Amino acid sequence: MGTRDELIDSARALLWERGYVGTSPKAIQQRAGVGQGSMYHHFTGKRDLALAAVRRNADELLSGADERLSGPGTAIDRVSAYLRRERDALKGCPIGGLAQDPEVVADPQLRAPVDQALGHLRERITAVLDEGRAAGELPATLDTAALAATVVAVVQGGYVLARAADTTEPFDQAVSGALALLGHVSGAAVRDSRAGCGP
């Protein structure tokens, strides 16, 4: 990797570990193994570098999610694969965690890629559920946008519960609950189709 990428990756890691306020330019430089001059050659300052880091984190989050959501199977299979993907629940989400950072929330430019990433994730899951509804896998009356928001909220909230308890158990329970909900919704479509069959 070049110096610019080293700086971005160092900032990504530190933002995840310490948040925006706890991430100093000096700490980023030390982690990247570069001097102050190199940092300011590529970025105007901490905020500019943090923005690049947040955007890269967002790209990685969406790429990983899309890999599961574009996989084989029904809509429920694909959303379930997203929920079941391996995560370090105790570290939290590198994007969702920033939504709890007061400095990030107060800065529209830093907040924008966080909001856009989570918004895009909801839209992507909604699109998958829409496909399932159109294929008759899900009830025709299902509010797919609401269910997609619930799925994202389960993951993000699961991180918070796990970190508060210092154990992954609450995260695993939240995912299990979401999977049960998805199974119930899918089963409702089957029951509806059977109810509509004539003698």
User: What pLDDT is stored for residue 186 in this prediction?
Assistant: 87
User: What pLDDT is stored for residue 198 in this prediction?
Assistant: 46
User: What pLDDT is stored for residue 199 in this prediction?
Assistant: 46
- Give Cα separations from 194 to 32, 123, 198 (angstroms): 61, 30, 9
Q: Is 66 within 8 Å of 43 (Cβ atoms)?
A: no
User: What pLDDT is stored for residue 185 in this prediction?
Assistant: 92
User: What pLDDT is stored for residue 191 in this prediction?
Assistant: 55
pLDDT digits (tens, 9 = 90+) for 52-70: 999 999 999 999 999 999 9
Name the DSSP letter for residue 20: T
Q: Is 133 within 8 Å of 146 (Cβ atoms)?
A: no
Q: Domains (ranges, CATH) in the chain?
A: 3-195 (1.10.357.10)
pLDDT means per 10 residues, the chain with 199 residues, are 91 92 93 91 94 94 95 96 94 91 92 95 98 95 97 97 97 97 83 50
